[in-house]
Amino acid sequence: MNEDDTDMEQNLSEEEKPATDINNENTSVSEAEQLKVQLAELNDKYLRLYSEFDNFRKRTIKEKSELIKTASEDVLKAVLPIIDDLERAIKANESVTNADPIKEGMLLIYNKFKTSVQLKGLTPFDCVGENFDADIMEAITHVPATDDSQKGKVIDEIEKGYKLGEKVIRYAKVVVAI
């Protein structure tokens, strides 16, 4: 081989190199385009997911506020017949001169009301004679104990305490012996 042939091979090699680089550039361009498309798809999925979550959050807040507004509906429906009974009793008592039927009617209405709220889970708890418990009781006054067995115990109940299930909704107001 002469020098010209060697130069041609080198020239061919150099000419082929740019052709290979062009292929690499085409490949890298197509990869870049694919990555851009993939990025756009992922961004679109992200935006849709974010919007869906935002809608879920708004819907949950709305449902929660509606639930809070109507939470007492069940209890009020149970109380409405008792209000009707009281109205009838008031109207009927306008012309009554004997108090015995009034007492009997009021006792019936009271028992109906008590039963209705107990069916909804409201239960009173007794405190008289029990040791003072600050978790369910509120001491409104202290009196001296007549003997040592009364110390720290509830001797009188001013207001009953009530639980709804296991939760105290009204603390009992009590008098404690010290």
Question: Do residues 15 and 60 share a domain?
Answer: yes
Question: Do residues 116 and 146 share a domain?
Answer: no
Cβ neighbours of 145 (radius 10 Å): 15
* CA 86 centroid distance within chain: 35
DSSP string, 138-178: EEEEEE--SSGGGTTBEEEEEE-EEEETTEEEEPEEEEEE-
pLDDT of residue 136 exceeding 80: yes
The vertex-139 CA angle with 137 and 143, nearest 5°, equals 135
What are the pLDDT digits (tens) for 42-76? 999 999 999 999 999 999 999 998 888 887 888 88
CA distances (Å), 166 to each of 52, 100, 123, 136, 162, in order? 38, 38, 9, 11, 10
Per the structure, the complete domain to which residue 173 belongs is given by 124-178
Question: Do residues 3 and 18 share a domain?
Answer: yes
What's the domain count of the chain?
Answer: 3
Question: Do residues 62 and 94 share a domain?
Answer: no
Specify which residues 176 forms β-bridges with. 142, 154
Mean pLDDT score across all residues of the chain = 85
Question: Do residues 61 and 23 share a domain?
Answer: yes
Question: Do residues 151 and 111 share a domain?
Answer: no
Question: Do residues 51 and 110 share a domain?
Answer: no
Question: Do residues 8 and 38 share a domain?
Answer: yes
In percent, the amount of the chain with pLDDT more than 90 equals 52
The three-state secondary structure class of 125 is strand
Report residue 33: phi and psi, to 5°: -65, -40
Tell me the pTM: 0.58
Question: Do residues 6 and 59 share a domain?
Answer: yes
Question: Do residues 40 and 94 share a domain?
Answer: no
pLDDT of residue 15 exceeding 60: no
pLDDT of residue 24 exceeding 80: no
Question: Do residues 128 and 149 share a domain?
Answer: yes
pLDDT band at 25 (very low <50, low <70, confident <90, very high): low
What are the pLDDT digits (tens) for 104-114? 888 999 999 99
